[in-house]
Amino acid sequence: MLLSTFNVNGINSRLPALLQWLGEKQPDVACLQELKAVQENFPQAAINEAGYYAVWHGQKSWNGVAILARGTTPQEVGRGLPGDCEDEQSRYIEAMVNGLLIASLYLPNGNPAPGPKFDYKIKWFERLISHAAELLAGGAPVVLAGDFNVIPTDLDVYKPERWLNDALFRPETRDAFRRLLAQGWCDALRTMHPGERIYTFWDYFRNAYGRNAGLRIDHLLLSPSLAGSLQAAGVDCDMRGREKPSDHAPTWIELDWKSHSPIPGPR
């Protein structure tokens, strides 16, 4: 089973690239972030035509998350991260796909730090840690996939010394990620590439992609019951070098997981 996460940085403006990638890679599940589209402007017809069915949580101009499944309908089980009834930002959605509980998430950037945006980031992270513990306690196999806006270690950034005060790399952010992993989650990409400098994001400025001056901030975390099913993981870096790209590249994993009675998509 092939699962992926991809911050598309505007689903409608980059729809041709997304559809091309779906046709080439054919992931069984694709978690998307930063849709930048209201609910009714999600390109459902084009996604269906490509053989995928989706659940999504849109928001005007910012944020937005989705879960796409090939040939089957994701069964939504929750939207919005629990823990703050006043949080209206569209950053989290959960669905069951082929027996897996999958979450697509877009953790706040948090810059400038310190400040209100960084405070929101850390509070959101604490809510994620709490909810992730509840998911593990539920016993279902779970994948947390998305743009975490976290650079976990020095190995995950091209020049660590330049990022010390950035919200993605501050000690509070990295500590929160470590505490999340300590619950038992498997960082799939790092598990398969333990010593490799591997990136998922390159800024649009200063020829970052050409210089491979990147960051690893897109992650797929597996619950303990799934960790043994992990077969491979990687990043489709070439997507970043195509015409009108997102500043992120799709990150993917392969699991030795047999589909469970898929529910056909709408006809």
Model pLDDT for residues 232-253, shown as the tens digit of each residue: 999 999 999 999 999 999 999 9
Report DSSP state, residue 264: P
Order across the sheet with 52-57: list the strands: 52-57, 65-70, 29-33, 2-7, 251-255, 230-235
* pLDDT score at 258: 79
Question: Which residues have a Cβ under 8 Å from the Cβ of 70 and sit 6 or more positions away?
Answer: 26, 27, 28, 29, 51, 52
In the set 28, 52, 92, 147, the catalytic residue is: 147
Catalytic residue among 92, 106, 199, 209: 106
Check if 158 is active-site: no
pLDDT at residue 259, as a whole number: 57
Q: What are phi and psi of 72, to 5 degrees?
A: -150, 160
Residues (pLDDT < 50) of the chain are 261-264, 266-267
Is residue 144 within 8 A of residue 103, CB to CB? The reply is yes
> Among 55, 56, 10, 65, which Cα is nearest to 33's?
65
147 part of the active site: yes
